[in-house]
Structure 1
Amino acid sequence: MRIGILGTRGIPNNYGGFEQFAQFLSVGLVQRGHSVWVYNSSNHPYREKEWEGVHIIRCTDWENYIGSAGQFVYDYNCLKDARKRGFDVLLQLGYTSNSVWHRLWPKDALNVINMDGLEWKRSKYGPLTRKFLLHAEKWAAQHGDILVADSTNIRDYLEKRYHRPLAHIPYGAEIPEYYVAGNLGRWGLDKQDYFLLMARMEPENNIEMIIRGWLAADRKKPLVLIGNPGNAFGSYLQKTYRKDDLLFVGGIYDAEVANALRHYSSFYFHGHSVGGTNPSLLEAMACECAILAHNNSFNKTILGKEAGYFASEDDIAGLLERLPEQQIIDEWKQVNTEKIRNMYTWEGIVDSYEQLFADNLQGKKRTDGKLQVL
């Protein structure tokens, strides 16, 4: 199959979850004999035309000059190019700006849309933007040939709202073969002697709630925050919370370093509240983290009983002052690692996408102009 993937800033991953997903999926599909093209932003530092056998198409991206509106220009440029490529499958990751251009989606390709999370619920957006994002969700759901949800919660919501079947394929993660404790040295950290939070600096990730709960507790361990603080919210957090034992270490895209910080943390905070199967959560599980997570259906579907949960600053302070016994913590780690090994492997995710593409290309079955999820 000739497969195009758009909707990310590109590969190799230098940003976040969808980029990580595009990286593993594209390489996995190439290893199975398919021809794969990934669209890269012109702002991406990687400049070659190929990476690990995946073809790279660079498209003009004005986000650095005009802000988030540049995403619409970037997606327009990607789709305009995709119309000329003769793809069998065009996988679009997310819908926030892609769906505006649904009339440009190549008609001769199978248009597969990964519907991501409930973007219109994100607290960082104002009322008008949320209204637009709800429309964008509707356009994607109406015009995509195949819709994919990464969590059962998202799938159930979309099926009920738009009366269309969805494929459920989660994200994946790798269990590291080793951890380099020496990576802690640059921040003066010791094994099991710090708390960790890894997230984009956005309000809906409840970073401020976690900081305030940590401050309110009778804390004895530093709190380390991994994430690029270059936006307005990140700047606000850094200016507001100045503590010697509150470490803003910035974005870390070296997997060996990030995995060591995860593995050797005492507890890992996961504050994400909007979305499906979050990649950073799976990576924390893969690194044998003891996890304290925001209490919502997305996180609970994945973690089940193998985590502590919070919904307020007081909850966080209480968790830190009354931590579980070591036996329970060890059980959390073991069970969550087994989930990664059995349910969230990249090999399994690549298999599922390959099968979804192949089935719907070879056995196209149209009802009311839409392909069925076979």
Structure 2
Amino acid sequence: MKIAILGTRGIPNNYGGFEQFAEYLSVLLVKKNHKVTVYSPHFHPYKKKEYKSVHIKYIYSPEKYIGASANFVYDFLCLRDALKEDYDIILECGYHSNAPSYYLMRGRKRPVLITNMDGLEWKRSKWNIITRWLIKKLEKLAVKKSHYLISDNTGIQQYYLNEFGVNSYYIAYGANPVYAFNENILLSYSLSKENYYVLIARLEPENNIEMILDGFILSKSSLPFVVIGNHLTKYGVYLKKKYQGFNIHFIGGIYNKDILDSLRYYSKAYFHGHSVGGTNPSLLEAMASQALIVAHSNDFNRAVLKNNAFFFSLDRDVAHVINSLDNMMNDEIAMKKKNNCELIIKEYSWSVITNQYEKLFENILKDSLF
């Protein structure tokens, strides 16, 4: 098959979730003898035309001049170019800046346009009411114009069925199990094994940072709480000021996976407050790192974790979990960690996810409608 992956900031991954997804998926599909092209903005620091046998096509993006609005221009130019090629499949990652360019399809049935719908972007509290309205309109447009939809979480899949009456294919995001950790990393942050709590997230309201930290304060725990994420934003500055004087440490963003894996693994518990996404990459990485997870109680997180975590809905729930940990049986904690790692291997490893995409693409191309 000839496959194009659009809607990311290119590979090798130098940015975030969809970029990591595009890198793993494209490299593994090429190993299965498919021809894969990943579209990248012209300013990507990697300049070669191939990466691990994946073809890279560089497309102009005016981000330097118009900021985030450049995504609409970039995505339009990517799809326009892709439609000139002979791809069997175009996989779009996300929809909110991609959807307007879908009019270029003009009723075409080839190449097959498949959109991975990501999370419920319009629910993010950082958006004002007008932006939320626009994102909802773009979501509807993507649903209407895509040939097929992919949901990375059963909660997202159910949302599209309820909201639009459309079926989408469920294929999760991926992660690989981690087995190597470095305890010496803790020394750099004045931490010791299983004597700290950690949270790794974008510092945004919908990630329930305040609920978690308020609960930590209510617990009166003597252990430090480490918050990893860029705190140089308006909300980040607010959080630092609010929790000044407490045993809460904002250490900024860390982008080295080996360091993050070790900080998760050696923590007493990893807190996950995400509430509007689908299958969140950082949650899978915590599972893969064999961390004990305390997660916000919502359909998305529960669909991934099943019973292998502790859940909270209020700050007092957080306090209760923290105060209960010392009295919990080690076997119970070890079992949750083990079950999560096994879930990663069986359901979320990148090889499993790639096989699911390959099978879906092949079945779609065999569909009599095309």
Category of TM-score, reference length = shorter chain: over 0.9
Give the secondary-structure state (helix, strand or coil) at the position aligned to 1:250. coil
Equivalences, count: 366
- 1:193–1:221 CA contact under 8 A, matched in 2: yes
The residue number in structure 1 matching 2:137 is 135
Say if 2:182 and 2:262, in contact at 8 Å, map to a contact too.
yes
2:367 maps to a residue whose letter is K
Aligned residue for 1:212?
214
Which of 184, 189, 192 does residue 190 from structure 1 map onto? 192
Superposition deviation, residue 306 in structure 1: 1.6
Unaligned regions of 5+ residues in structure 1, if any?
A: none
| Contact map agreement 1:199 1:227 (CA 8 A) in 2 | yes
- Which residue identity does 1:48 align to in structure 2? K
CA distance in 2, matches of 1:222, 1:194: 5
Alignment CA distance shift 1:172-1:61 (3 Å): same
Instruction: Pick one of 342, 345, 350 that aligns with 1:346.
Output: 350
Residue 230 of structure 1 deviates from its aligned partner by 4.4
Secondary structure in 1 aligned to 2:181?
coil
Matched, 1:224 2:226: yes
Residue aligning to 1:37: 37
RMSD (Å), alpha carbons: 2.0
What's the CA shift string for 1:74-118, capped at 9, x where partnerless? 212322322233221110011111012111248431101111111
CA distance in 2, matches of 1:14, 1:209: 31
Q: Is the CA contact (8 Å cut-off) linking 2:215 and 2:318 kept in structure 1?
A: yes
CA contact (8 A) 2:179 2:289 kept: no
Give 1:244 shift: 7.2
Which residue of structure 2 aligns with residue 310 of structure 1?
312
Indicate how the Cα distance of structure 1 residues 360 and 231 shifts in structure 2: closer, same or farther if over 3 A, else same: same
- 1:160 Cα offset (Å): 2.9
CA offsets 1:56-87 (integer angstroms, 9 cap, x no match): 22333344543432221221232232223322
**TM-score normalised to structure 2 length:** 0.92
Amino acid at match of 2:297: N
Contact 2:99 2:138 in 1 (8 A): yes
Does the alignment pair 1:333 with 2:344? Answer: no
Equivalent position of 1:59 in the other structure: 59
> Matches of 2:148 and 2:103 in 1, distance apart?
16
* Preserved contact between residue 113 and residue 146 of structure 1 (Cα < 8 Å): yes
Q: 1:259: how far off?
A: 1.0
Asked if the contact 1:30/1:53 (under 8 Å) is kept, the reply is yes
- Where does residue 267 of structure 1 map in the other structure? 269
Mean alpha-carbon deviation: is it higher for 218-227 or for 130-139? Answer: 218-227
Please, which of 118, 127, 132 is the counterpart of residue 116 of structure 1? 118
Matched AA of 1:254: N
CA separation in 2, counterparts of 1:313 and 1:42?
A: 45
Q: TM-score, normalised by structure 1?
A: 0.91
Identity of aligned residues (%): 44
Q: How many Å apart are 1:192 and its aligned residue?
A: 1.1
Contact 2:290 2:341 in 1 (8 A): yes
Matches within 5 A, 1:237-276: 237-243=239-245, 245-276=247-278
In structure 2, what residue type is equivalent to 1:293? A
Does the C-alpha gap of structure 1 residues 128 and 287 become closer, same or farther in structure 2, counting only changes over 3 Å?
same
Secondary structure of residue in 2 paired with 1:348: helix
Q: Structure 1 residues 10 and 222 mapped into 2: Cα distance closer, same or farther (>3 Å)? A: farther
Indicate which of 360, 363, 367 corresponds to 1:359. 363
Question: Which amino acid in structure 2 is aligned with residue 340 of structure 1?
Answer: I
- Identify which of 118, 126, 129 aligns with 2:128: 126
Greater than 4 Å deviation, 4+ residue runs:
none
Contact conserved, 1:13 with 1:253, CA < 8 A, in 2? no
Alignment of 1:72-221 (within 5 A): 72-105=72-105, 107=108, 108-221=110-223
The answer for the alignment partner of 1:295 in structure 2 is: 297
Give the gaps of 5 or more residues in structure 2.
none
- Residue 39 to residue 365, structure 1, CA distance change in 2 (3 Å): same
